[in-house]
A = this chain, B = another copy of it.
């Protein structure tokens, strides 16, 4: 459980080296009407991945063929997967009070918060940072989509739209942007 005293989630403007990358796959865009079908996370220390957490989740309603085509996640695959109520305690236990990193992470946070609220009447007060925001600030690219950034930085996009793969892409992109920002700052000093 999170131990922050003020209990308010804040956007972090520095570049932490210890954080947890998260990504979810869902049955649609609405955090209220749609469900999480995959949740993955990477625990990072000194910018090195030390732990990985990933699970499919059995939704209450069926997964549409559109979503199965996008993600590769089918109704058959989640048939025996744990439910969101089983996954959330494991996830918050994994996350602890780490800073969250994600790509367009407000989407993921909204879904996780909606489910934490609904099933456990809990909040997610962890601070967070976002590779989409960071890319907009530090990279002069025409797009800031995850796959576009990965290709720009020479990072594999294999298995894109599966949560653990997207976490790894986000992590690799974060390190590249951190390097970019750091060399920009150095050039401003020198």
A56 to B45, CA, bound (A): 11
A40: B residues at CB distance < 8 A: 52
Copy tally for this chain in the complex stands at 2
A49 to B78, CA, bound (A): 9
Chain B residue nearest to A43 in the complex (CB):
B55
Task: Verify A55–B56 contact, CB threshold 8 A.
Answer: no
Among A76, A78, A81, A82, max chain B CB count under 10 A is at A81
Task: Verify B50–A77 contact, CB threshold 8 A.
Answer: yes
A71 within 8 A of B: no
Q: A51-B55, A51-B81 are in contact. List 18 more A-B contacts (CB 8 A).
A: A40-B52, A45-B80, A45-B81, A46-B79, A46-B80, A48-B56, A48-B77, A48-B80, A50-B56, A50-B78, A50-B80, A50-B81, A51-B54, A51-B56, A51-B82, A52-B54, A52-B164, A53-B53
A79: B residues at CB distance < 8 A: 45-46
A56: B residues at CB distance < 8 A: 48-51
A30 to B40, CA, bound (A): 33
Task: Verify B48–A76 contact, CB threshold 8 A.
Answer: yes
Min CB gap A144→B, angstroms:
28
A82: B residues at CB distance < 8 A: 50-51
Give how many A residues have a beta carbon under 8 Å from the other chain's beta carbons. 21
A50: B residues at CB distance < 8 A: 55-56, 77-78, 80-82
A18 within 8 A of B: yes
Task: Verify B51–A52 contact, CB threshold 8 A.
Answer: no
Task: Verify A76–B46 contact, CB threshold 8 A.
Answer: yes
A82 to B135, CA, bound (A): 31
A53: B residues at CB distance < 8 A: 52-53
A77: B residues at CB distance < 8 A: 48, 50
